[in-house]
Amino acid sequence: MPVTARKLLEVAADANAGARDLRLAVGQDPAISARLLQCANAPAYGFSGRVSDLDTAIARILGFDRALAIAFGMSLREILGQNEPDAEELESYHRNAVYRATLAKHLAGSMPAKSGVCPGTAYMAGLLHNIGLLFLACKFPEQHRILIDSAQLNPGVPLVHLESCLLEISHQELGGQLLEGWGLPHELVVATRYHHDTDYDREHSAYSQLMRLCSALIPKQGVFAGHDDAAPDRDRLVRYLGLNETTVETALQRLADTHPLLDELAHRLAA
């Protein structure tokens, strides 16, 4: 994993980190810095002047979370290479990731302290929990195509069931092995490796179950729409995480208020 990506993970996990810390993490990476400035100058963010420095781009225009997602998304592309799915599918992948990451951070802020869930780490977990799908698309396009065809022929069948039958490994297993191989924090490995496991109840399980709740609240879009399996667990997951319907509805409303900017972010990540 590139040095910049590791720095970004450290920033995300630090509850006291702010725009300055993020700028320091990406300041030595000219490609990421240039992309952040390009995004900050996009019409969607409504800034009337010209943004020419990272501090302004991060703190005043993009905001911490969006800047973090853009920077980390670029790092992932460096890691996984250029053999990406088509633009529409890639944008759908990033839309799923940023929607769920944003919701996960909102929900984490309302969870009891004893859960041990850090909102920043929850945000990164949301960005990364489906990385196994992106890895499969980038590194094994033939197998990924077979999975897409099977999903289209078997609507409503959970994706992990299709993967087990066709590939003998699921995207959550792939993603978990990938993050473990990179030496990432155990919280992120658990969130990725067990986000389809209903009964997982060990260390850091709050992160994996939070990912399940986000899946129930925001169904997957794109080629794998309708193949999530968490919706029946919604009420149980809300209780397990120490939340209630009021906090869930408040988090969903906060998410709805930012839909246009999140869509723009997904578009930028796929560009």
Closest to 55 measured CA to CA, from 17, 18, 30: 18
pLDDT-derived band at 82, boundaries 50, 70, 90: low
| Mean pLDDT rounded to a whole number for the chain | 88
| Percent of the chain that is helix, strand, coil (3-state, to 5) | 70, 0, 30
CB neighbours of residue 113 within 10 Å: 7
Considering only the C-alpha atoms of the chain, give the largest distance between any 2 of them, rounded to a whole number of Å: 54
- Rg of the chain over all Cα atoms, to the nearest angstrom: 18
User: How far is residue 73's CA from residue 93's CA, in Å, rounded to a whole number?
Assistant: 11
Closest to 123 measured CA to CA, from 55, 71, 170: 71
- Tell me the per-residue pLDDT of 5-54, one tens digit each, with 9 for 90 and over: 888 888 888 878 888 899 888 887 888 888 888 888 888 777 767 878 88
Q: Give Cα 267 distance to the centre of its chain.
A: 14
Percent of the chain with pLDDT over 70: 97
Instruction: Give the length of the chain.
Output: 271
What pLDDT sits at residue 256?
93
Q: Which residues contact 131 (CB under 8 A, 6 or more apart)?
A: 76, 175, 178, 179, 192
The residue-averaged pLDDT of 111-131 equals: 91
What pLDDT sits at residue 250?
96
Closest to 252 measured CA to CA, from 206, 214, 199: 214
**Which value, to the nearest 10 degrees, does the dihedral of the CA atoms of residues 88, 93, 97, 98 take?**
-10
User: How far is residue 12's CA from residue 72's CA, in Å, rounded to a whole number?
Assistant: 10
pLDDT-derived band at 254, boundaries 50, 70, 90: very high
Question: What would the two tokens of residue 80 be?
Answer: 């996984």
CB neighbours of residue 90 within 10 Å: 20
Amino acid at 8: L
Whether the pLDDT of residue 228 is over 70: the answer is: yes
Cα separations in angstroms, 7 against 14, 74, 98, 218: 11, 13, 19, 29
pLDDT-derived band at 214, boundaries 50, 70, 90: very high
What structural domains does the chain harbor?
Answer: 1-80 (no CATH), 83-270 (1.10.3210.10)
Question: What would the two tokens of residue 99 be?
Answer: 């929607």
Among 69-83, 167-181, 232-246, the least confident range: 69-83
What pLDDT sits at residue 57?
85
First to last CA, the chain: 21
